[in-house]
Amino acid sequence: MNDETTTGEHPAHDPDLLELRTPAQFKALGHPVRHRIVNLLRQRPATLGELAAALRAAKGTIAYHVRVLRDAGIVRLAGTRHVRGGTEQTLALVSRGFRLHEEAAAGPDFLVRAALAEMLPARPGQAEHTLLNHLWLTQQEAHALIARLRDLLPPPGRTPPPGGEPYGLLLSLYPADIPTLPPGPSDESAARNSAS
């Protein structure tokens, strides 16, 4: 969902990240239109009119979805200004990013579904790389790899650069349900030869 949305073990609690844990929050973020509103507000605060124009949707529709996000504590009113006899509201996210509470009913599958909903087919020549690989790691190696993956992430709240295109990055190290064969005869003889 966001470059800061994570599950699993976390470094020291970051007060700038909203911890997602309630069914209302997951329901709010699980809708595709609301997911897109959150992605827009990650770029900067915006008015209902700006959100409606970016999403090519009716202002009333966007107002409804924003209300759901506000009720769930994800979006806040950032400011108001008077325009042509009315009041224009500017909306913002309540935090610079999110993280899933370790006891939340939704987990990595929530993030995978969010990533799948965003994925577009790559255009010719456009960068894209999706790979599923399996590793056999000790707990110490797994924790070290998680720390290295966190270091690769760009800082949260980064403004899109001119000419930049949006890309999603879903990093997941998870315990896999893969059976393991016992060592075969060739493995055992290789282990004996290397020991001698």
The pLDDT value recorded for residue 192 is: 63
Cα 30 from Cα 100, distance rounded (Å): 13
pLDDT per residue, tens digit, the chain (196 aa), is: 443 444 444 444 556 777 887 888 888 888 889 988 988 898 899 999 999 999 999 999 999 999 999 999 999 999 988 888 888 899 999 987 777 777 666 666 777 777 777 777 888 888 887 777 888 899 999 999 988 888 877 766 667 778 888 787 777 777 787 777 788 887 666 666 665 5
The pLDDT value recorded for residue 109 is: 72
The pLDDT value recorded for residue 5 is: 45
Cα 175 from Cα 67, distance rounded (Å): 37
What's the residue count for the chain?
A: 196
**Two tokens, residue 51:** 């959100």
110: CB partners within 8 A, 6+ apart: 1, 26, 29, 30, 100
The pLDDT value recorded for residue 152 is: 78
The pLDDT value recorded for residue 18 is: 79
